Structures are given as structure tokens and as C-alpha cells.
Amino acid sequence: MKIHFSSIALPNSGTLVVLVNDNAPLSEYAKQLDEKTQGALTRAIQVEQFSGKKNSLINIVAPANSELNRIVILGTGNGSDIDTQHAADTLVKQIETYQLTTITVLAEQEQQAAQFAYGLQLSNYRFDKYRTRSELQAKYLLTEAHLLTTNPEQAQALYAPLEAVAEGITITRDLVWEPANVVYPESFAEFCQKLAPYGLEIDVVNSQQMAELGMGALLGVGQGSMHESLMVILKYNGSNNDEAPVAFLGKGVTFDSGGLSLKPNSSMNTMKEDMGGAATVTGLMVALAKRQANVNAIGVLGLVENMPSDKAQRPSDVVTSMSGQTIEVMNTDAEGRLVLCDLMTYTQRTFKPKAMFDLATLTGAVLIALGEEIAGIFSNDDALSAQITAAGETEQESVWRLPMGGQFDRLLKSEIADMRNNGNKLRIGGSSVAAQFLYRFIENETPWVHIDIAGTAWTGEGLPNKPKGATGFGVRLLDRLVKEQFEA
């Protein structure tokens, strides 16, 4: 969708959207429109008892004394960034009903114009790539939006970094939506290599190189697949080259059958989404690079496919991680932590990050605990945990800190190795046990946050600014955190 910002000149055709804050009077230009249409706006507001509260709208078809097709009076709540974004979502939900592809929006304040455009980009999304029958495709999606504002240059400047984040979210969503026969380790790596024009450096580490590094935990997960396991490193240097980077690690299990600990079909048929952490890191790195964030950042993706075969890892196998710690693999379906632990060791020893975040669709237990709208976080740093929680509140990508500690550590005791990869009491504190496992791979007290997005990476019903399906959760959350805590 193309976004245009221009000076205010009321249009004579098409659809005009008028933004109105809760209990606020019509603006000067909206009053001019009201006069031109012989009071159509005022009458509609009175009849509908419209106050401008969020998620409310009035549709005025073929207004009198005007060549406009319709005027939509759209409530923007308190006018905050989030309420404005949600107002855009309310409008997008009516696009097919109103049969719209192009709109003009009267958004006089520059900040509100930029945020409304951002909301349009987030909501005007549908993955129709594989729908060949026209009746299955979206009949109407916005292709252009013209925002009328008092200072279009300023609105464009405010919108530019938001557009970068929206593009990162779109990349994340597209990757998660793609089926596993299209996105697998090699094709994911090839996609990443095409991101260099954004200002990213991309390195691909193959299986042989990872074996030489001693990454036996990660490699064990993918040994049953015909696809080669790969590690992709995305580098963005937006600050002083000597400054330690912020590191983002993504679990990239492009399909998770469970391995020999085979999942039931009802659980397996959504497992193309198990690379959601890697997809989020990819989208985030694009967003940071495109908006030219003043930070050094590293994205590290562990790309594997977890399949059953005669070469697959077996329950009770013992693998040696890059850290040198040994792991008894009691459940081959507890594979994400095996990928992440080697990424953590590699990242800390290679890049010595000032802070490290890992993202993973790791445990079904976090979905049971927190639902589909809140991600679970675990951390060894109280300040960092508070900062990411605050960023989540600002961006409405909520996170909730869950516990780690000795009671979960004891559940990782193995009779043969340094630890086992799942708890010895099944279905007990699964998310905390997984996080406790990862905590064992922290070196030199690196500040760290583990983000379990198993519940938030996908929505079955759709949420404000998150259409049904892949949500892109985490991109705007971590972009906000970087902006507030790590940019100079």
C-alpha cells in the first residue's frame, strides 16, 4: 500500500475519512466539510449519538451537495498513538463492505497522521499468495491512502521509522505464513542473504562449520532431516564499531514433527510456525537497519528441521553442546532449547553482547499460562526485565515475567549427563523448566531475556492491527526497547 501525505485540500470525489477524538468538536476543516454537505456530519453525529470513542464510526453514503462517494466519521478515542492505530484497524475491517481500494483521510495533526498510516499498514495485510481461485482471495485491500495534514513533510518524517517497523513486521508475518516445503533452512538462509540492501551484513555458517565449533546440541535436532542445519548471522552496525552489540537470537525450527517423540497430528499441523522466533529476529533486524537505528545489533538464527528418520536423534541420546556441557535428550520434541543453547554460547563468545534476547515458540505451557496475547519472559536481570515490560505496555505487545530458580533447576537432573532437556516431572512448570535450562548457558553474567512467544506468534481470530494468522509479535516490542534503552 502506498502512503501519501499532503496539505489539506478537501477532495471532491472518492471516500473521505474524518478522524474525531472522543468528545472533541469537529476540526476547522471538518466544519467546512459539514457546511459544504449542508450539515450532514452534524446530523449524523447527533442521530448516532457519536462521541468519537475508539472502534466507532459513521458511514455517510453519497453526502448531499458533494461528489464524494461516502464520508466515514471515525472515532480515535483519546487520540493516543495506540487508539489512532486501532482506529485504522476499525476502518480496514470495513474495506470489503465499503468496496474500497483508495481512501483520503483528514488527519490534521502530524503525529496522528503518521500513526494512522502506521495502523493502516499493520492491518491492511492478508497472505493470499497460494490462493488461485478469485472467490478465495481478498476482493478489496487498500492500495493507496492519502493523508491530509497541516505539515505533510513533518508527518512523513514521523512516519518513516514507523514504516520501517511495519515492513519488518510484514517480513516476519510472511515468513511464518509460508509452508515448510517453501521455507526450510536453506531457503530461509537464501532469503536472509537478499536482505543486504537494507544495510545488513549476512553470514551463513554451515553444518560442517558448526560441527567444528562443537555445536552438537543444535546439530542433533536437525540430523533426521534431508535439509542441512544452518546458522545465519545478521549484523547491523549503526553506532560506533567498537561498541558492544545488542544480540537477538531466534529459534528457527522450520518444521517440528517432534522427531522420534512424534507429535499427534492435531499438534503437528501448525508446526510450520515453529520458526517464529527466527522470523521475528529477521523482521526486527530489517526494521532497525531501515530506520537507521543508532545501535550495533546482531541477529543469530538457528535454522533446523526436526524430522523422524533412521538418522534422527533418539530419546536417551547424549549430545555435547558448544559450551562443553552434556545433555541427555529425553524428549526429541523439546528441541528448541537445544538450538538456542548453542546459539547463546556462540553469540556470547563471538560478539560479547551488552545484552542478549532470545525469541522462541518454545513451550505450549506458556500458552496455557498466559493465553494468546501475552508473551512469557524470563531473565537474569531485573532492570532489563522491567524495561522490556514497559516497552510492551507502550506498544501493546504485553509480556509477563515468569519465575526461574532452584525448584526448576532440580528437575533438570540427569542420571548420565550434566542435564536432561526436559523436566523429570512431566507437565510441571514446563516454561520455567525450559528457561532454567537456557539459563545454564549464560556466561559472564550476560544480561539476558528469554521471550517465549508460543502463544503470541499466531492469532486464530485476529486482534487490533494483527489480522488473523501470523502476528509479527515482538518486532515493535524490541524496536521500542532498542530505541529507549540502547540507542545513543
CA distance 231 to 219: 10
| 409 close to 425: Cβ distance less than 8 angstroms | no
CA 80 to chain centre: 22
Q: What HEC string does 363-421 produce? A: CHHHHHHHCCCCEEEEECCHHHHHHHHHHHHHHCCCEEECCCCHHHHHHHCCCCCCEEC
The angle subtended at Cα 254 by Cα 389 and Cα 339, nearest 5°, is 65
Q: What is the sign, positive or negative, of the torsion defined by CA atoms of 79, 83, 87, 88?
A: positive
Q: Strand 230-237 relative to strand 246-256: parallel, antiparallel, unpaired?
A: unpaired
Q: What is the sign, positive or negative, of the torsion defined by CA atoms of 328, 332, 337, 340?
A: positive
CA distance 457 to 276: 6
CA distance 171 to 304: 19
* Side chain identity, residue 434: A
Q: Which residue has the cell 545478521?
A: 234
For the chain, the C-alpha Rg in angstroms (whole number) is 24
Q: DSSP 3-state assignment of 446?
A: coil
Catalytically annotated residues: 263, 337
What separation in angstroms does the CA of 376 have from each of 269, 280, 361? 23, 15, 10
Q: Which three cell numbers stand for residue 49?
A: 449519538
Q: Which residues are known binding-site members for Mn(2+)? A: 251, 256, 274, 333, 335
Among 473, 477, 476, smallest CA distance to 456 is for 473
Q: DSSP 3-state assignment of 316?
A: coil
| 10 close to 67: Cβ distance less than 8 angstroms | no
Among 85, 79, 27, smallest CA distance to 53 is for 79
Q: What is the sign, positive or negative, of the torsion defined by CA atoms of 21, 25, 28, 32?
A: positive
- In degrees to the nearest 10, what's the CA dihedral of 157, 162, 165, 167? -80
Q: Which residues contact 28 (CB under 8 A, 6 or more apart)?
A: 108
Q: Strand 326-329 relative to strand 419-420: parallel, antiparallel, unpaired?
A: parallel
Q: Strand 2-6 relative to strand 57-61: parallel, antiparallel, unpaired?
A: unpaired
